[in-house]
Structure formats: structure tokens, C-alpha cells
Amino acid sequence: MKTRIRGGPAAKFIYYIIKTKYPIEQSELINITLLSRRTVQSAIDELVEQGLIMNETSSADARKKVYCPA
């Protein structure tokens, strides 16, 4: 079954990266994709709203969130 992702190319790209390299922090997503922080955050917000990804608190640093597929 193929997951239907609503949104632009950035959201689809971010979802692919999260799906293949989870758990991953936002800063890592920015470094891998070379997208702006704002673009990455918008894509993450879209994906969370669609229920495709979820965030958890990082075990290494409680101030950071890590993202993984739902």
C-alpha cells in the first residue's frame, strides 16, 4: 500500500528522508536536504497534521525533538 502524501515536493522529500533515516532531528534534516529551516519546519508541520510522522523527545537532549514515521 502506497502512502498518499499531500503537500509540495519539500514535504514529500522530508517524508522520504524521515522514513529512511529515522529517528532524525530537524537540524539533521536541514543538513541533509539543504532546505531552509522554515521550509523543513513547514513540511514537518504538514506531515504531523496528516498523521504520517510523529515527534518524540530526543534521548540525548531533552530540548530537541526527533521525528519518525507514524
Residue 3: predicted pLDDT: 76
Examine residue 22 and state whether it is found in any structural domain, yes or no.
yes
Examine residue 3 and state whether it is found in any structural domain, yes or no.
no
Examine residue 2 and state whether it is found in any structural domain, yes or no.
no
Which three cell numbers, joined as nine digits, stand for 67? 521525528
Residue 1: predicted pLDDT: 61
Examine residue 18 and state whether it is found in any structural domain, yes or no.
yes
Residue 67: predicted pLDDT: 97
**Percent of the chain at pLDDT exceeding 70:** 99
The enclosing domain of 52 has a CATH number of: 1.10.10.10
Examine residue 4 and state whether it is found in any structural domain, yes or no.
no
Tell me the residue range of the domain where 13 lies.
9-69
Q: How many domains does the chain have?
A: 1
pLDDT tens for 1-25 read 677 899 999 999 999 999 999 999 9
pLDDT tens for 39-51 read 999 999 999 999 9
- How far, in Å, are 42, 53, 56, 60, 62 from residue 14 at the CA level? 10, 10, 17, 22, 22
Residue 35: predicted pLDDT: 97
Examine residue 1 and state whether it is found in any structural domain, yes or no.
no
